[in-house]
Structure 1
Amino acid sequence: MREILPRLLWIGNARDARDLNQVLDLGITAVIDLAREEPPISYPREIVYCRLPLIDGDENQTVVLQTALTTVARFISADLPTLVACSAGMSRSPAIVAGALSLVHDFPFSEALQQVAAAGPCDVAPGLWNEIQQLLEKTEPGS
């Protein structure tokens, strides 16, 4: 699991998301599960669990992709300790976290992804990159 914002935002893989002891020990109170190919996770009632299944290609439902971005952005803005996880923690979760940081801090998606990549390896699928970039361009003021 990689900490992106101190005590506030982490990126992980499916195994990290299933490690309930680690999730609770870190003080994580919300988990965004993006892994379409993994089964849902059962958490205690006090954990907010959002399953928003995405793929690494360019065929995601726009509303699901947009919900993932805005939910993570809202949790960051509300200082809600959040884990964003996908199967390997290398494409979908870094891309969604970068997109959410771009929304919260109003800077380009590419810069946000560089910030996320500084915390560990990333391999964002080009189709997903393009989908997020196009969606973020539509949400910019004046667009």
Structure 2
Amino acid sequence: MSIFDFVKSVGTKLGLGDGAPQAGDLKKELDSHDLGTKGVQVSVDGDKAVLKGDVKDQSTFEKAVVAVGNSLGVSKVEASDLKVGAGAPAQTPVLYTVKRGDNLWKIAEAEYGKGNGAKNNLIFEANKPMLTDPNKIYPGQVLRIPPLS
């Protein structure tokens, strides 16, 4: 349940070299988003990043997974030992891998149904601070899809 797939050959380049990023580089990337993940430990097993620790809520859990997973060289993020709140297990998030030709409007219609493209701002807001511009998404990037309330 808590292993998430990413596209290894796309994402934010961290550190030096072309191999799998180092745990320290992934931790620095995670902390740079100021999500409240200071207590989260990051380790690397090949091209899989492993997150352990506690986060305050489901949103922070999902953002941590996406922030680490959208790093060049990471193909999987394991978050089995990343707990929400008072040690509760996280719910399975809805994630979407961007395809060529996608934009947030198209993604909103694909995920929420035809006629719901205007809900694209929900997707943009759910992916801040990793997304800084709704027009700057790229194929292979993984986005959180928040539920409609």
Q: Which has the higher helix share?
A: 1
TM-score (norm. length: structure 1): 0.30
The structure whose Rg is larger is 2
TM-score (norm. length: structure 2): 0.30
